[in-house]
Amino acid sequence: MRVIAVVSPLGGTGRTTLTAHLATLLARQGQPCLAVELCAQNLLARHLGMHEPSALGWAPLAAAGQWWADASFDNTDGVSVLPFGKVAPEAVDTLHRQLQVQPRWLLDQLELLDVPDACTVVLDTPAWPSPLARAALRCADVVLVTLEASARACAAPDMVQALLHEATTAAPADQGVLVTRFDPRRISHREALQTLRQQWGERLIPYTLHEDENIPRALARSMSVGSFAPQAQSAHDLQGVCNWLTGQRQMPPSMLAAGASRP
């Protein structure tokens, strides 16, 4: 089993969107894939084909002491999905206390899953340092940190470093920073991207996820953007990130040319 954690110290950076689309792309390549939602917003299943948020999920089952994976379902792209589910705030507090007492709880639950040995598990996390985000980092083989192209992301290197310090099972080469929600028409975004490149160097994934209206349009139809608009910029960007995950780590020629043209 290979575990990928999609994390960020900032909200609104596209963690759920990225989790859903990466899981879809991996499944379409023939890899067994499980997408697990650790975020109480309960939107991951919507990205993966469910038209309404799932009431049944792993969180209410786990809070009641039941087997968490009974809430999973498979979508038409071949992705197994384990939604968070609808729970009261008190139940979320119970889960957080359980993680304090049993720091390995999430890792133990993942290891008990009946999945193929070659399965990739993609974890959609709440904003770090949520207890569930920290638990995801403790069992991740690969960490993707999402940062939008903004001034607040440029001001967050210390938080990101602290986050990565908790990723004790992921090798440095498997810890990447991904810039999301990038609009090249905005000067502030271009300046932020340049700053983030300087801050993160080789850790910055050589693909940028552009702001693309096709992503929310696809979500409104409970589809992946690759199915809804396969020629969209975001579909190309997401395929590049998927390539990075599968070991293709060289910077694409388009990015080399873009970097050379900048002052």
SS3 for 9?
coil
- For 84-108, what is the mean pLDDT? 90
For 53-74, how does the pLDDT look when each residue is reduced to its tens digit (9 = 90+)? 667 899 999 988 899 999 999 9
**pLDDT greater than 60 at residue 254:** no
What's the confidence (pLDDT) of residue 250? Answer: 59
Rounded Cα distance, 147 and 184, in Å: 15
Q: How far apart are the first and last CA of the chain?
A: 44
DSSP string covering 142-208: EEEEEEESSHHHHT-HHHHHHHHHT-TTS-GGGEEEEEEEE-TT-HHHHHHHHHHHHHHGGGEEEEE
Task: Please report the domains of the chain, with CATH numbers, ordered by start residue.
Answer: 2-261 (3.40.50.300)
Tell me how crowded residue 159 is: count the other CB atoms within 10 A of its CB: 16
Rounded Cα distance, 123 and 167, in Å: 13
**Which pTM was predicted?**
0.91
- For 182-211, what is the mean pLDDT? 96
Rounded Cα distance, 214 and 68, in Å: 33
